[in-house]
Structure 1
């Protein structure tokens, strides 16, 4: 099953959802701002993405700049911060049973479909 971690207010996320919809594959939408990921879910997703937690952080967000920028944070701290502040998670993310990709650019989503 394909899952898209989606924020309807984000243009790139809407573009990513369109790609998933047009794929013809079964999928589910998880609006992660309304239904935040647990720390374990986020850690599993990071493994599928094959990236470090900092690579998934939206570092231009005000909340990041005001509270966390230039701090020496562990990977576990970064995961906790993202689960407490899901707005900091890059979007969209699309995953299948084996791997995941951040849809930036949205065309990258096709790699997991």
Structure 2
């Protein structure tokens, strides 16, 4: 299996559940606490490209930081720039295999990434 990275926010219950799910299955993975170590724009763009979902799924648009930006029809660049500037806007958890990534909402969604390796 390729190296796995879990983009994790320990204050998020879904993220904690995904972490426990991986640990319970004995999966080897690295934890990237993206609030402590934010992803640069280029890395966000690469991560978004590996998701099987639209870019908007990477965005937590209910957060105060997003609402303060007041972007009515944000472009791809505006979304990526907002997440880079405000890491809390990134959806979590995300399991990244390097060639494909999955948002763990619900946490069990990450199992699909494990199954197709």
Q: TM-score, normalised by structure 1?
A: 0.92
Residue aligning to 2:107: 106
Question: Mind listing any 5+ residue stretches in structure 2 that lack a counterpart?
Answer: none
Question: Mind listing any 5+ residue stretches in structure 1 that lack a counterpart?
Answer: none
The reply to whether residue 62 of structure 1 matches residue 91 of structure 2 is: no
What are the superposed Cα offsets for residues 9-67 of structure 1, whole Å, 9 maximum, x if unpaired?
Answer: 00000001111112222210000000000111111111110333222111111111222
Between the aligned partners of 2:53 and 2:40, the Cα distance in structure 1 is 18
SS at match of 2:102: strand
Which portions of structure 1, spanning 4 or more consecutive aligned residues, are displaced by more than 4 angstroms? none
Alpha-carbon shift at residue 3 of structure 1 (Å):
0.3
Residue aligning to 1:40: 42
SS at match of 2:109: helix
Between the aligned partners of 2:59 and 2:12, the Cα distance in structure 1 is 15
Q: TM-score, normalised by structure 2?
A: 0.89
SS at match of 1:66: helix
The reply to whether residue 91 of structure 1 matches residue 92 of structure 2 is: yes
CA contact (8 A) 1:52 1:75 kept: no
What is the root-mean-square deviation in Å for CA atoms of aligned residues?
1.3
Count how many residue pairs are aligned between Structure 1 and Structure 2: 112
Residue aligning to 2:55: 53
